[in-house]
Amino acid sequence: MHAAGKSGIDFDMFAKILSVFHTKCPNETKMKYLFRLYDIDGDNTVNEKDIITMMKKIFFIKDIKELEVEGGFETLLANEAFVEQMATDIIRLFDKNGDRVLEYFEFKEMLYEGDVETRMNIAF
C-alpha cells in the first residue's frame, strides 16, 4: 500500500515478488510461494474453493461467465461446472490422506508433476 491510501506496491515489494522467479531462487521457496498464493483463505491448505478462486484470478475474471471466447480451453472455463469439476479432480488426484484438501506436501507433489521448477524461472 502506498502512502495516502493509494493501492499498489512500491518498487521494493515488486522486486521481492519478482525475486521468486529468479533462476537462483531455491525451488522450495518457489513452491511455498505458490502454495501461499493458492491458499486464498489462509487456512494452510488448498481446497476446491481456493482452486476455483485462483483460476478466476489467473484468467482475470470476476465472474467465470465473463469469458465469451468461442472454442478451446477458454470456452470450457466459461462453464462453471467444468471449473468446479477441474478443482474436484485436482483434489481427488493429489489428496493423499483423504481430507479433501491439499496440504503443502500434497500441493508440492502436484507442482512436481507440472514441472513448476522450470516454468517459474525468468532470466534477469
Q: What is the DSSP letter of 5?
A: G
Bridge partners for 102 per DSSP: 46
d(CA 45, CA 49): 11
pLDDT at 1: 43
Nearest in space to 48 (alpha carbons), one of 4, 87, 74, 9 = 87
Q: Do the beta carbons of residue 61 and residue 67 sit within 8 Å? A: yes
Q: Do the beta carbons of residue 103 and residue 50 sit within 8 Å? A: no
Q: What is the DSSP letter of 7?
A: -
List the chain pLDDT tens, one digit each, 124 residues: 445 556 788 999 888 888 998 888 898 999 999 999 999 999 999 999 999 998 877 765 555 555 555 555 555 555 677 788 889 999 999 999 999 999 999 999 988 876 776 778 887 7
Q: What is the DSSP letter of 61?
A: -
Residue 7's φ and ψ, nearest 5 degrees, are: -85, 160
